[in-house]
Amino acid sequence: MQPSPAQSPTSSRSNLAGWLYVSPLVLVLVPFFVAPMLVVLAASFFATDGFGGLTPGFTLASYVEVLHSALTLKLYLATIKFTVLTWIFTLIIGFFVAYFLVFHVRNQLLAIGLFLLCTVPFWTSNIIRMISWIPLLGKEGLINQALLGMGVIRQPLEVLLFSDLAVVIAYVHQLTIFMIVPIFNSMARIDKKLIEAAIDAGASRFDIMRLIVVPMSKSGIALGTIFVVSIVMGDFFVVKVMSGGGSASVVSAFYEDVGVLQYPTAAASAVLLTLVLVAIVSLILRTVDIRQEITR
Amino acid sequence: MKNDRGDIELAGVCKSFDGATYVVDGVNLKIADGAYCCFIGPSGCGKTTILRMIAGHEDPTAGEIVIGGQNVVGLAPVQRRTAMMFQSYALFPHLTVRENIAFALRVRGMSKTDRLRAADAMIEKVRLSQFADRLPAQLSGGQQQRVALARAAITEPRVLLLDEPLSALDEQLRVQMRQELRRMQRELGITFIHVTHTQLEAIALADLVVVMEQGKIKQAGPARDVYAHPHDRYVAEFMGGQNVLSGRVEKVNGASFTLAQAAPDGIEVPLQARPTVSVGDKVDIAVRRDDVALVRPGKDLPPGCTTSLPSRVLAIEYQGYFVKVMLDTVPDDEFVAYVPEKTFFADPFTVGDVVMATWATGSALPLA
């Protein structure tokens, strides 16, 4: 094939157009994502004088420290416990809320209205949402009062607030919407005729859910999982507030490191966490080909 | 004992979605076991609703649906032993051809080896063996249609319901798949009910053609009856191939009556189907387009023709084996003659020519 002389200016122009299309994203990602990541990566290899002063250089000392610490494993186990519990509950609740909205609410306007209702908690800040659990779960809270009043318990339940249970409740409350939205989206694109065809073939409600709805919502489930897992694993604030300081997570540990000016250790922990998250996300993407599911 | 009879009886079947207007309005019909029945009508005439009621995806507001002697109203599709092939097929996009076809057996709890063997046999029957492991999106329209047919047929239903099965295909494929549907129906030996809005499809396939309008059956009968002997103006116009003329009865004499028209002597019509015609009645008659002969003015009419209407040629369309000549014979309705190609080109007309449109008197059909 002979390249025509007119071809190269055209292709360079389309190249330029291509760059123009990606430039907004590049302009945002480079200063706000790539650059900080590089700074953190660099800092993780620096040495420290112990008082916040960094000595540029290349040492693996911080990584050795983080990986050797027995605390690291404990923190990861705790974080993974929160992640898994949150994931299970958000998945179950999110799936059934989306299922209800898509397949049981006949009136589309009502479905959209109910869908918007799910976002109402997000009209206030995260902190207020967490604080608002206190009058409900606290020692003098509504639940304890009710249980005491009914005579189910004699002593107020301490486990409701400032506990791991409270952490999971707060996470589920915050993050279920991140499951509902993508699952709703993929379910809404299931042709209702498919359900009818399945009924025609004799499928029960459970068969339809198992063989049609779940497999066809896979991409939504995967997307929701990525949201929930990365948010929970990258969070320390909810753990801190809702456990009353009793529990820690990976991020809360290196937040403490930053507090005591141990920047390289904090940076090394951050890099490690990023790698773990990348591994989890790529595992999810390997099981579900989201791109293919979305373009189908 | 399993009842394999697939004869269907609709008795006073009505359906209303809003309680005020009836989409299906008092339909009575008998369909013999193993018949190929086509419901035909314009969109919104209720034909698909009837199909869905027979399938069990919609409940009738009133009336009975009897399959094989058993009233099936309220029963699930599986209990009715019907299967439906959906418009645009509704194949499961995440399942392969084999899994799609085996789906009904899977939810019936058949073991994996058994159901895959049964599916493979069915795949063979619809000639899709080399596509068994593909996803529906990787198939052509015609192949998807065959998968849909196989998926519906695998449960050995006694009635197969097809909702506009050919509408998603292009013209050539449609003719080909039409043959295939008929072949499958013969092979399976079960009742097929097919909804379409294409009259060619209906008369090519059906043993029983049911013409519908606004929720009511206008005429039901063998394809030739419906096409050649339409009951009324609606059926004649919908099925096509007929010229419909209307006028007042001028005189009734013995075996025929005369319809007043622009023609000097009126139109003579045999009395066969309408014994009770009196002078002054407004009557529609139908004349098949291929029965109309065109004669140049002043020439003798062919034998048997007593009526001739002077007309001007409005347009001519070459259709291959015949030529479609459009005439201004009647003021309000279109009037068309299908002239055999050889006859036409022996003495071709051009647009604007004046001709006499004539037909054998016996071929004029009075309509209800």
Span of A75-79, A190-194, A274-278, A285-289 with lowest mean pLDDT: A285-289
User: Which residues contact residue B317 at a Cβ distance below 8 angstroms, ignoring those fewer than 6 apart?
Assistant: B323, B324, B326
Residue B262 has pLDDT above 60, yes or no: no
Joined tokens for residue B299: 């020439």
Residue B348: what are its φ and ψ, rounded to 5°?
-65, 140
> Average pLDDT of chain B?
89
CA separation, residue B280 to residues A203, B262, B331 (Å):
62, 16, 20
Q: How far is B52 from chain A (nearest CA, A)?
A: 11
Using CB atoms and an 8 Å cut-off, which of residues 209-238 of chain A contact chain B? 211-212, 215-216
Whether B155 contacts chain A with CB within 8 A = yes
Whether A192 contacts chain B with CB within 8 A = no
Residue A249's pLDDT is 86
Residue B192's pLDDT is 95
Which of A186, A191, A195, A200 is the mutation pick for testing B, counting most B CBs within 10 A?
A200
DSSP A30: I
Residue type, A155: Q
- Reported as a pLDDT band with limits 50, 70 and 90, residue B263 is low
| ipTM summary value | 0.82
> For a pLDDT cut of 70, what percent of chain B falls above it?
96
Give the whole-angstrom CA distance, residue B325 versus residue B345: 12
Which of B107, B135, B138 is the mutation pick for testing A, counting most A CBs within 10 A?
B107
Helices (H), B92-191: 97-107, 112-125, 141-153, 171-188
Question: Number of CB pairs < 8 Å for A and B?
Answer: 59
Whether A289 contacts chain B with CB within 8 A = no
b/e per residue A257-285 (b: at least 16 CB within 10 A)? beeeebbbbbbbbbbbbeeeeeebeeebe
Residue B268 has pLDDT above 70, yes or no: yes
Give the whole-angstrom CA distance, residue B130 versus residue B133: 8
Q: Which residues pair with A149 in a beta bridge?
A: none
Give the whole-angstrom CA distance, residue B63 versus residue B50: 12
Q: Could you tell me whether strands B62-67 and B8-15 are parallel, antiparallel, or unpaired per DSSP bridges?
A: antiparallel
Whether B78 contacts chain A with CB within 8 A = yes
Q: What string of DSSP letters covers A49-105?
A: -SSS-EE-S---HHHHHHHH-HHHHHHHHHHHHHHHHHHHHHHHHHHHHHHIIIII-
Residue B1's pLDDT is 40
Helices (H), A138-262: 142-150, 164-188, 192-200, 205-207, 214-216, 218-233, 237-242, 250-259
Residue A4 has pLDDT above 80, yes or no: no
- Reported as a pLDDT band with limits 50, 70 and 90, residue B235 is very high
Shortest CB distance from B93 goes to which of A196, A201, A296? A296
Give the whole-angstrom CA distance, residue A131 versus residue B328: 85
Q: What angle do CA B169, B174, B180 make, to 5 degrees?
A: 120
Joined tokens for residue A285: 């993407």
pLDDT tens, A115-131?
A: 888 888 778 888 888 88
